[in-house]
Amino acid sequence: MKSELAAGDSTWIELIYTSRGAKSRTHKSARVTTNDTTLGRVSIAFKAETKEPGDSALLLAADPPTLDFGDPEKRKRRLESKITNVTDEVMYLSLVSVPPDFFKKVELKKDKLKPGKTAKLKVELKKGTEEEKFRKSVTLEARYGEKGKFRLTVPLVKGIGGSATAKKDNKDKTDEKDKKDKN
């Protein structure tokens, strides 16, 4: 991503919507300011309705729900999540949003998912990004029935605390320490 642009040049601007624990309709916006006298400022607005994991409205489930590449020192490059169809309808899956130029591979092993079945979402970092910290996401879309559509976003993090996986890891470490202290 470029930080300075010449006239007529372009670049990606990554905006990440984080619900921060909201469990209802939310609105957020971002403003891009330029020195272009014809554009000046451009506002982008987000609207979302956040559902809790396990909510009956979820049609797909990801296990794990967050792909956490861990600390930058670990140099982990490949992770996968199992995407499960939790409905009684056939789902047709596709990747609709993948961070540009950041991952070597993001693939979904199946594009048709029968009820109760799983597909693997595989993510591999590009070489040279293993030591970076990031917060990204991949969004899948499932089509079903005549016009049914559902989207599932899987967060991808590295070196940033606060993910569900990081909390589980810390709990496991605390449990191990408690066991050692008892012995």
| Overall pTM surpassing 0.75 (yes/no) | no
High-pLDDT (> 90) share of the chain, %: 23
Same domain, 60 and 133: yes
Asked if the structure places residue 152 within a domain, the reply is yes
Residue 162 sits in which domain range? 52-181
Is the pLDDT at 24 greater than 70, yes or no? yes
Q: Residue 87 corresponds to which tokens in the numbers above?
A: 């409905």
Dihedral angle, C-alpha 33, 35, 38, 43, nearest 10 ° = 0
Same domain, 149 and 69: yes
Q: Which pLDDT does position 113 carry in this prediction?
A: 92
Is the pLDDT at 100 greater than 70, yes or no? yes
Asked if the structure places residue 157 within a domain, the reply is yes
Worst-scoring range by mean pLDDT, 43-47, 79-83, 106-110, 133-137?
43-47
CB-based burial label for 9 (10 Å; 0-12, 13-18, 19+): exposed
Q: Which pLDDT does position 148 carry in this prediction?
A: 86
Q: Which pLDDT does position 176 carry in this prediction?
A: 52
- CA atoms of 80 and 124, how far apart (whole Å): 9
User: What pLDDT, in 10s, does the model give residues 57-84?
Assistant: 678 899 999 999 888 777 778 899 999 9
Number of domains into which the chain is organized: 2
Contacts (Cβ under 8 Å, ≥6 apart) of 87: 59, 115, 144
Is the pLDDT at 120 greater than 70, yes or no? yes
Same domain, 81 and 36: no
Same domain, 120 and 45: no
Q: Order across the sheet with 103-108: list the strands.
A: 60-63, 78-85, 118-125, 103-108
